[in-house]
Structure 1
Amino acid sequence: MMMRFLCVFVIGILPVLGLSQSTYSFNNSELPIEERVQDLVDRLTVEEKVSLLISTAKAIPRLDIEKYYHGNEALHGVVKGGRFTVFPQAIALSATWNPDLIYKVSTAISDEARAKWNFYNQGKDQKNVYSDMLTFWSPTINMARDPRWGRTPETYGEDPYLTSQIGLSFVKGLQGNDDKYLKVVSTPKHFVANNQEENRFGYNAKISERALREYYFPAYKTLIQEGNAQSIMSAYNAINGVPSTANNWLLNTVLRDEWGFKGYVVSDCGAPTYIEKSHHFVTDKEQAGKAALEAGLDLECGDDIYAKHLLPAYKAGLVSIESIDKAVSRVLRARFKLGVFDPETNNPFTKISPEVIGSKEHQDLALETSRQSIVLLKNERNILPLKSNAITKLAVVGFNANQVVFGDYSGLPVISPISPLQGIIDKVGDKVEVNYVKWKTAARNLNPIEAENLRNDFNDEPGLFAEYFDDKFLEGTPKTRVDKEVNFDPVNQPPDPYTSYRHKSIRWTGHITPNASGAYKIGVNSDDGIRLWLNNELVVDEWHNRGATTDQVPIYMEAGKKYAIKLEYFDNGGDAICQLLWEVPGSTDDLYKEDREAAKNSDYVIAVMGINKTIEKEGKDRTSLQLPEDQVNYLKEMYAINKNMIVVLVAGSSLAINWMDANIPAIVDAWYPGEAGGTAIADVLFGDYNPAGRLPFTFYKSITDLPPMDDYEITNGRTYMYFKGDVLYPFGYGLSYTKFEYSGMKIEKENDVLMLSATIKNIGEFDGDEVVQLYYKIKESTVIRPLKKLIGFKRVSLTKGESKTIQFKVSKKDLRFWNEHNKEWTFEKGKYTFMIGASSKDIRIQKTEKL
């Protein structure tokens, strides 16, 4: 009897000791995943199930389930969790027109993510801090239908086929190629037609089903059916009156029933709240939870509707346990596929070493990707490539000359990133004198307060006393040092142990001592919160989350006197910057004197212009396509002095650079080129790399060429497919230092498949790449059809004098349109013209076939 009691006692305490977990079926890696998922779901209470439907899912200790954060970003490198390789921004990836290269890029990104997860898995505390290294809300495959859209740089451009092919490679590279395990989860976003930032939480996109099927849907369908994407993010907006996050037709009928999607749907952050708050689709938050769950939303990014109101909705009988079980099963299935419930020895991705993060191989890949993305827009007089042995002096000037601009959703680089200026200096060495002049503008004539004008109370050395806290509350024991200047900009600076945490707060104290008497302006450029005291008076109090903002305060100061200053700053994650600036009396009298001298005394002027996240970003659409006026005026002034001018554009979307195109002899579009961008730019300018990037969208001449922003019907003159006017640069456009000849186009038919071929020959003086593009159009149709439509492309490398035959396979399925009357895809008999060329406008050869 005593022995029986002891056996029962021991068995009873095993769960408490955590020893019985291995006996749970869901921990048996030999069982099918569906059986394991069901076993775990059956063991959960309804409260636990609901807790798993929130992106920051809490731990369930009794089942030894750790907390799990869904939601890092990886548009062009891992964003959160440390320092990683920073590749060119997404739009630049698309400008390579090279899916094979993009597969390598996303493979490197997910290798680094897994490597960081593996590293943190060695210590429970570290892993709890960074538990979001396996689920990524990338890529962004919304269509860049209008260049004013602030998130255009995150996309792959205006064409659904190009977006599908680049996105497909990206998803495949992220998720890995193991038959059983996922390397990471990829989440294409935002489903669907999330294409404007004004009223982004509440707008209703009115779109025909044909436009959805032909333009807005294809990339998602491809990434699900061919890429096996394991997650999809729903959008803030409504489609034809129904919020995307509560849209049964989108999330169940199309996504799951038609396309066979087996993964889970996560909301854009806070989107379930807007079902009731902004769209007024329901009357309360419990009803919002019901609408979202029944429509097929599985996971909430946020802590409102599912976190607080789904359980009450269940208890009130509004939602069923079956609906909850279905959602939690979908979410858990992805975690099982990641292998988080399995022994590490089973999973091949647990063997990826942290040594890959920022490795030489990945740095080289970032450089090659940047090179392949750069588009040569103009090269009059063959001014490019430059020959350094024929140059004595070179002026490098402009808004972005000494900036490293990564674009939105960017991480911190492992290495010191290379600016265009640095790339040029590294390229020419001591053979050429480089005259660099800092950018100044009447629009904001604020410059950094230099060390000679700053003192601290601890050692009276130049600079301010700095206290770095590892939280955003100025609490705990800080690391301290003297900063020569206040220029906290971790993205654009070398790795710094004082800035290793994403969430940080900093306090600088000391004195300002001006060299001259007069009326000054003290400015602080910051992203997130600041407080500024001058002479012990609080003059700026902006202690809250916000985007990049410059605050200015006027103050009269006398030469040689000390003026006390205290500046406090916190970073809430994401973008991080805090810079202490001033405007000195008389500094606006002649802004460009130094620039004019540099231009006058140089053989060539390289002006690095463009825009940045202050103009285009999430939450902010552009109101103009023009380059900022101060930059255009500056270029005109410099060009009047030196006609040998090359403009390098650093931007994430198209610009109406009409004056520049008419006057400047050479223009290069470098996008937001990543950590090695400066080196890539210099390689192109000096001929060590022959540019072959191609535009993934149209450059329009004027904003008046565009339909209203809220017009989602693509047939109303949008994109190269339906716009009939003159453009500045067409979709698919890009020049080379060499020339290519197209010939020998053939079409062979076999049942419903066409095999098209053409021969491409390099007839120029340089080795180079050509992006061969295939378009089609139908002569007559019962509906409005595209002027031409991309259905194939290949990037091919050709040495001087070399030729290659390129083949394309086209099915009749590729030539169909969506018949709204019959609700089906329809192929029309008729005369189809197939066009092969170097851009959507530069068609070199074509043939017409009756099909």
Structure 2
Amino acid sequence: MKITRALLYPLMISLLLCTNGQAQNSTFPFQNYKLTFEERVNDLVSRMTLEEKVSQMLNAAPAIPRLGVPAYDWWNETLHGVARTPYNVTVYPQAIAMAATFDTAALFKMADYSALEGRVIYNKAVAAGKTNERYLGLTYWTPNINIFRDPRWGRGQETYGEDPYLTAMLGDAFVRGLQGNDPKYLKAAACAKHYAVHSGPEPLRHVFDVDVSPYDLWDTYLPAFKKLVTASKVAGVMCAYNAFRKQPCCASDVLMTDILRNQWSFKGYVTSDCWAIDDFFKNHKTHPDAASASADAVFHGTDIDCGTAAYKALVQAVKENKITEPQIDVSVKRLFMIRFRLGMFDPPSMVKYAQTPATELEAASHGKHALQMAHESIVLLRNANNTLPLKKGLKKIVVLGPNAVNVIAPLGNYNGTPSKLTTIFQGIKDKAGSTTQVVYEKAVNYTNNNVLEYDDISPACSIDGKPGFKATYYNNRELNGEPIATVVEQHIEHDWQEGENVSGNLRANDFSVRYVTNYKATADGAITFEVEADDGFRFTINGNTILNSWNRKPRDISSYTLTTKKDSVYNLVLEYWQGEGKATIKMHTGHPGVTDFNALVKKYNDADAFIFAGGISPQLEGEEMKVSDPGFKGGDRTSIVLPAIQTELMKALQTSGKPVVFVMMTGSAIAIPWEAENVPAIINAWYGGQAAGTAVADVLFGDYNPSGRLPVTFYSSDNDLPSFEDYSMKNRTYRYFTGKALYGFGYGLSYTTFRYDQLTTVAQSSKPVRVTVRVTNTGKTGGDEVVQLYVVNQNTSIQTSLKALRGFQRINLRPSESKMVSFVLQPDDLSYVDASGQRKPLVGKVQICVGSSQPDEANTTSGNVIKKELTIK
């Protein structure tokens, strides 16, 4: 038999396990495959010392050689494709974009494909003896099922939106797809986070204490967690940084003991958010020291301390009688149960998932699915006068804006790196074809129009007789010791994901680099150096430090203008260090200028259409970021309004009389009141993943009929929002907002129209209600429709949300085609939460609403909404 590469990695792993005694050696009972996992786990833990047990409760668990236990790092991510790995992987649209698909089947498949790619990466890690490295394991700290209650939260992009039902259904699909269906082994281990009542502000997440009513807790914040724990059987849960009712979440009587372990009978493992245990005594001040904090967290069922700091004090805590060793055993057993269920102590021949071929990494089917999800996620917000789709064969299209060629924006955050990514500009250029001239002008940055007109000085740079920059890389933050790699690079233009390969064997985590070159000026005059960095940097010219951010950790863009003399040589040194998170270091050169919008429009008076790719980006919103651009703070937003400079540009473009299309990229709701009234065509493209540009172009030119729906409310202004720090759901989200939204939850247009009729409701004997409706494509274009069912309580004596999503289906209809769509409303779907947090059945009159959007959507949608009243006794 010919041994192919697809078979090679499983074979290597099997040979490795046979020779090192980790699986084939039956010296100990825990290595006997005929025993149950529980018996094997109990045997293994009984053989460990207290110190060994405690070491296994850190995210970076070391090896125990005497027992044949390999090292393992639990920390890994797969939010929308395997993240932060040194390998190229398939990158799907950001989570909030996937939520806009309203497609559970697509999310299930995405998670399934991601788990397969993760298995390949883990196989390689085992073969290379690198299971101790972060971002190579099979325990993924995903999905993020926090409720996106406030659009200012920078991490809302990682969630499935503002609705508990949608979040629960999509989260369930993700967990089932990722964990697989084998009765014995997990394909991968999912982890529901951040438990619970957690959604910003980012700068306060380590210190704030939140309390909500029992009603809001059980009506909004817990339903998705309950679904994933009790029905989806998620393997893990991550407890949040914040405190809940005066106790840190990871040591909460209510959340951890009463609800998670007792009411929901959760048997899986719990990890703290990273360094959350340290917050007990450093920030919350609820505990005096690491030993007390660690003991309390373990007592409440937190099994892993991510951050590998506080739990080291557990040995001391046992000696001081703060906790007992048998209590430690409970956590250690839960952790090893997960590892056994992942097949880590069995040979690959016994674990079907361990035999995943290497060809699954960036498989063609995965790329095709990434494009499908990007297609389905795009939301058409406005299409006045049928501006879209654009006609093919236009002579000239001008593409503008900061997101047109941005390779970071489509990837969102918590992402991997694909081998190929299509930007919006490239997607349009590819789609338009050779007969159409497609021109790019940046025109504006996100918040200003001080645009640097780049000059490439690389031909004038050399070092040691070679053109370019000498780059010397170190595996620490201090540029100390022997370098890991020394190479010559032509440009300094890097955006590494945490854990990605930097150079040689160096990965992007706690490293530093020094770039050196000699620049020979080509003329008398001036040139501006612009340095962009996520972490610390300093820039020197001829030994003089010009820019210095070495001792702080900003996402910073700094510039310096050098007066030059022709043929003079300037020694340039740029030094950079990276800690946790993404690693960005770039140096551009050019001449700064302020864009004259009127001159820009005049310059392109021969254009047939303007496409403005704007919005915001994950460079501005995200996790605990050092960002202070106007409208942004610490990863969050201080205003949801589109930066004014972008509106000013679009106003100028409108004066041209040519079609203007606004392609908005964002991970959160943006207020665009002027655009909603004046720009003829607006599409929300989110952060669309590796195929973002292709998907956008397909929608713009009519090769895909847009069908995405908003998973969050798009408000009109900041005045619509309560205090960011107020966790009450009053006047928040479509379920409780009493104002008029700019675009409501569930909203989205199509290039065709749909008609709803023949709504019937039939009560079943066991109290579920079957709802059936006919949907017809009444237009001339085939496409998908997202059928949405809402329940509206009309009994004013019962406090409930104004309306609640209780069903959705994505269907495809050809022109004039009709389909009957059915839903079954279970008793929980026709219930409410009372003031004490108890779920009770609705009684009295309720309205069942089915259509293209939520009932009473103010904007015109692609179809109608029909309603029927029920009386529940």
Tell me, what secondary structure is at the counterpart of 2:425?
Answer: helix
Preserved CA contact (<8 Å) 2:444 2:645? no
**1:501 corresponds to:** 507
TM-fit CA distance, 1:448: 4.5
- Which amino acid is the alignment partner of residue 747 of structure 1? T
Counterpart of 1:639?
654
2:366 counterpart of 1:351: no
1:483 aligned partner: 489
Deviations 1:208-249 (A, max 9, x none): 111111100011111112211010000011112221011022
Deviation per CA, 1:109-156, whole angstroms, max 9, x where unpaired?
A: 1100101111222232x4444574211111110000000011111110
- Contact kept, 8 Å, 1:86 with 1:413, in 2: the verdict is yes
In 2, Cα distance between the equivalents of 1:804 and 1:824? 38
Partner of 1:8: none
Which residue does 1:77 correspond to in 2?
81
Aligned-pair CA distance for 1:361:
1.3
Q: Distance in 2 between matches of 1:528 and 1:780?
A: 56
- Give the letter for the 1:828 counterpart: L
Amino acid at match of 2:670: L
Moved more, 553-562 or 520-529: 553-562
Mapped pair 1:702 → 2:709: no
**Displacement, 1:541?**
3.6
Q: Which residue of 1 aligns with 2:845?
A: 831
Match in the other structure for 1:417: 421
Pick closer, same or farther for the CA change 1:723–1:158 going to 2, 3 Å: same
Report the equivalent of 2:768. Answer: 753
Q: For residue 677 of structure 1, what is the aligned residue in structure 2? A: 692
Overall identity of the aligned pairs, in %: 36
Q: Which amino acid aligns with 2:401?
A: G
Q: What is the RMSD computed on CA atoms of the aligned residues?
A: 2.4
For 1:12, the equivalent position in structure 2 comes to none
AA at the equivalent of 1:557 = T
- Partners of 2:554 and 2:143 lie apart in 1 by 23
* Aligned-pair CA distance for 1:745: 0.1
Q: Distance in 1 between matches of 2:545 and 2:165?
A: 55
Counterpart mapping for 1:258-277 below 5 A: 258-277=263-282
Provide the C-alpha distance between the structure 2 equivalents of 1:515 and 1:97, rounded to a whole number of angstroms. Answer: 56
CA contact (8 A) 1:152 1:653 kept: yes
**In structure 1, what is the Cα distance between the partners aligned to 2:598 and 2:426?**
23
Q: Go from structure 1 to structure 2 and tell me whether the alpha carbon gap of 1:326 and 1:19 turns closer, same or farther (over 3 Å shift).
A: closer
SS in 2 for 1:655: coil
**1:442-467 deviation per Cα after TM superposition (whole angstroms, max 9, x unaligned):** 55433545135641133364x43334
- Aligned pair 1:293/2:303, yes or no? no
Q: CA 1:108 to 1:310, structure 2 compared with 1: closer, same or farther past 3 Å?
A: same
Deviation at 1:543, TM superposition (A): 3.5
Aligned to 1:10: none
Per the TM alignment, residue 581 of structure 1 is displaced from its structure 2 partner at its CA by: 2.5
How is 1:162-181 mapped onto 2 (pairs within 5 angstroms)?
162-181=166-185
Distance change in 2, residues 1:396/1:443 (3 Å):
closer
Q: Number of paired residues? A: 828
Residue 794 of structure 1 aligns to a residue in which SS? strand
The structure-2 alpha-carbon separation of the partners of 1:616 and 1:477, relative to structure 1 and needing over 3 Å to count, comes to closer
Amino acid at match of 1:177: N
Q: Does 1:396 align with 2:409?
A: no
Task: Specify the alignment match of 1:801 in structure 2.
Answer: 816
Deviations 1:635-656 (A, max 9, x none): 2222222441011011111100
The structure-2 alpha-carbon separation of the partners of 1:19 and 1:147, relative to structure 1 and needing over 3 Å to count, comes to closer
Contact 1:449–1:580 (Cα < 8 Å) also in 2: no
Which residue matches 1:145? 149
Gaps of at least 5 residues in structure 2 are: 1-19, 625-634, 858-863
In structure 2, what is the Cα distance between the partners aligned to 1:382 and 1:211? 42
Structure 2 vs 1, CA of residues 17 and 662 (structure 1 numbering), >3 Å: closer, same or farther?
Answer: closer
Distance in structure 2 (CA, Å) of the matches to 1:18 and 1:455: 53
Of residues 720, 742, 762 in structure 1, which corresponds to 2:756? 742
SS at match of 1:661: helix
5+ residue gaps, structure 1, are: 1-15
Q: What SS class does the counterpart of residue 181 from structure 1 fall into?
A: coil
**Which amino acid letter does the alignment assign opposite residue 740 of structure 1?**
F
**8 Å CA contact retained: 1:157, 1:696:** yes
Q: TM-score, normalised by structure 1?
A: 0.93
The residue type equivalent to 2:848 in the other structure is F
| Residue in 2 that maps onto 1:532 | 539
Task: Give distance in 2, aligned partners of 1:17 and 1:340.
Answer: 13
> Using a 3 Å threshold, how does the CA distance of structure 1 residues 478 and 157 change in structure 2: closer, same or farther?
same
1:765 aligns with 2:770: no
Distance across 1 between alignment mates of 2:395 and 2:352: 55
1:185 aligns with 2:189: yes
5 Å-filtered alignment, 1:310-349, equals 310-349=314-353
Amino acid at match of 2:689: G
In 2 relative to 1, CA 313–791 (structure 1 residues): closer, same or farther, beyond 3 Å?
same
Partner of 2:518: 511
In the alignment, is the contact (CA less than 8 A) between 2:790 and 2:804 conserved in 1? yes
Residue 818 in structure 1 maps to residue 833 in structure 2 = yes
Q: Report the CA distance between 1:511 and its aligned residue.
A: 3.0
Deviates more, 1:326-335 or 1:507-516: 507-516
Instruction: Read off the aligned partner of 1:824 and give its amino acid letter.
Output: Q
Distance of 1:487 and 1:846 partners within structure 2: 56
Q: Does structure 1 residue 224 correspond to structure 2 residue 239? A: no
Are 2:266 and 1:245 equivalent residues in the alignment? no
Structure-2 residue corresponding to 1:445: 451
1:723 aligns with 2:737: yes
Give the deviation of 1:403 after TM superposition: 1.2
Please list, as runs of the form range in 1=range in 2, the aligned pairs for 1:95-114 lying within 5 A after superposition: 95-114=100-119
Instruction: Summarize the Cα distance change of 1:240–1:408 in structure 2 as closer, same or farther, 3 Å threshold.
Output: farther
Shift of 1:402: 0.8
Query: CA offsets, 1:370-416, max 9 Å, x none?
Result: 01110000111111111213x11111111111112145534443322
Alignment check: 8 A CA contact 1:407 1:652 kept: no
